[in-house]
Structure 1
Amino acid sequence: MIDAIDHEILRLLQIDGRMSATALAAEVGLTVAPCHRRIKELERKGVLTGYRAVVDPAAVGLSFQALVFVTLRDRAQMLTFEKAVGLHEQIVKADRLFGDPDFLLKVIAADLLGYQQFYDEVLVGLPGVEKLTSTIVMKTVKEEAGLPL
């Protein structure tokens, strides 16, 4: 069970995943040892699933984003499709949807030509694909944020 202190630890780590256990303990009103134990327990339970750096795509030459709606021919290929999607780093997010289409993929590339190559060489060849519909991201207004804790 997650109590109010765990909740606050999670909220603070979403804001700054590099926050030290000492600083975190001070923020939530604990000493370092119990705070560290709580963090380890949240990790062990799978509540905290990882830590990562947030990188500006344009700063590393990946300023092109497309959203790709995928409809599969039949549901028999669902798991094979999901596994194949996981193999491609340019697919940075994949959501399985209710209804039609079946999936929404977020694909990142250096430019339109890079996306077109990825589309032609990878996306059309994913298992079970019947239809792909792409839309280009004009501007990211809000990045994916942490959970509203």
Structure 2
Amino acid sequence: MDITDQRILAELQKDGRLTVTELAERIGLSVSPCHRRVRALEQSGAIRGYRAELDPATLGLKFSALVFITLRDGDRRAVDAFEHAVADVPQVLQAQRLFGDPDYLLHVITRDLAAFRQLYDEHLSALPGVQRLTSTLVMKDVVIDRPLPLHGH
């Protein structure tokens, strides 16, 4: 990946709806090579996809929490069962497996505290292999969906 690819990715991170013509103009390439580069970045997996950025609060999703989960067992079967089950919970925006204790960090979003409590009691605590759940509430988003740092990594 060269500097031109990095510039393409930086522009697309800012605005994924750019046409190839607009993108080519912004980075100083002609349309054809720009299109080839974008297609190559998509095929390599550097670009995973394109989507709209939604505002949770406008859509009535105003409650966010971080949930830490420790599993009873760390064997492959327990991990697979947990990971498959957590992937089916739509309120879990992100699930990360961690080194050490706790085993997982979940980023969860719901309408309000009552909806979170119901999710916590009925779904999260019932996930397979869960030994302990702890959570903390998000007071305020300070940095969200920041573009990846492409220069100087």
TM-score by length of 2: 0.94
**TM-superposition CA deviations, 1:97-138 (whole Å, max 9, x none):** 111001100110000000011111110111111000010111
**TM-superposition CA deviations, 1:34-79 (whole Å, max 9, x none):** 1111111111111100111111111000000010001011112112
Cα distance in 2 between the residues matched to 1:6 and 1:146: 15
Q: SS of the residue aligned with 1:42? A: helix
RMSD between aligned residues: 0.8
Cα distance in 2 between the residues matched to 1:144 and 1:105: 16
Correspondence for 2:83: 82
Correspondence for 1:33: 32
Correspondence for 2:102: 101
Q: SS of the residue aligned with 1:144? A: coil
Q: SS of the residue aligned with 1:56? A: coil
Cα distance in 2 between the residues matched to 1:52 and 1:85: 22
Cα distance in 1 between the residues matched to 2:110 and 2:144: 17
Cα distance in 2 between the residues matched to 1:32 and 1:18: 16
| Unpaired stretches in structure 2, ≥5 consecutive residues | none
Aligned counterparts, 1:105-144, within 5 A: 105-144=106-145
Q: How many residues align?
A: 148
TM-score by length of 1: 0.96
| Unpaired stretches in structure 1, ≥5 consecutive residues | none
